[in-house]
Amino acid sequence: MCFSNFYGKQLRMNTYRQICYHIVFGTRHREPTINESHCRELYAYIHGLIKNKQGHLYRINGIADHIHICSDLHPSVCLADYVKSIKVASSIWMKASGLFPKFVGWQDAYAAFTHAYKDNPRVIDYVKNQKEHHKVESFQDEYRRLLVEHGIQFEERYLL
């Protein structure tokens, strides 16, 4: 796209963006079905899915009943499609791989929070320390707290 300035010279406009998301979703019925011994393979698979959507994975981690993803979202991809594609493809892979024999699927819902790029180190650190974090806070309490901190109204009955 070109524009002319006051002197008639053509100026070229570029598109710049940085769309950082902290995404959280759990296993169906929040059952502890993500084997810690194989989560690296799962995270590598999801990393590939994110790259295929032109996103950038900053950090992924979780525990047996949920995962956190800190990633950039390409502006040509809508958030709902992005999360759905990650959940559908990883669910198929988890079932087919045989590495997660108790896994039946992901919960239907998810939470996604935007943040400034300058806050990436804080969010990455939070995602990185999930195992330690969940020694003192349950997933349900964490999920509720994140929704409140980000000003998202919710109905308690849908959190369980």
Is a pLDDT exceeding 60 seen at residue 32? yes
Do 75 and 107 form a contact (C-beta atoms < 8 A)?
no
Q: Distances from the Cα of 18 to the Cαs of 33, 73, 87, 123, 124, in angstroms?
A: 33, 8, 23, 15, 16
User: Mean pLDDT throughout 28-36?
Assistant: 94
> CA dist 104 to 31, 96, 114, 160, Å?
9, 11, 29, 17
Dist CA 75 CA 77 (whole Å): 5
pLDDT tens for each residue of 86-136: 999 999 999 999 999 999 999 999 999 999 999 999 999 999 999 999 999
- What local confidence, expressed as pLDDT, does residue 62 receive? 97
Residue 27 burial (C-beta neighbours within 10 Å; 0-12, 13-18, 19+): buried
pLDDT of residue 7: 59
Give the pLDDT mean for 7-13.
Answer: 63
> Of all residues in the chain, what percent carry a pLDDT higher than 70?
91
Model pLDDT, residue 14: 75
Q: What is the mean pLDDT of the chain?
A: 91
**CATH, range 15-158:** 3.30.70.1290
H or E element in which residue 126 lies: helix 120-128
Which pLDDT score is estimated for 124?
97
Residues paired with 112 in a beta bridge:
23
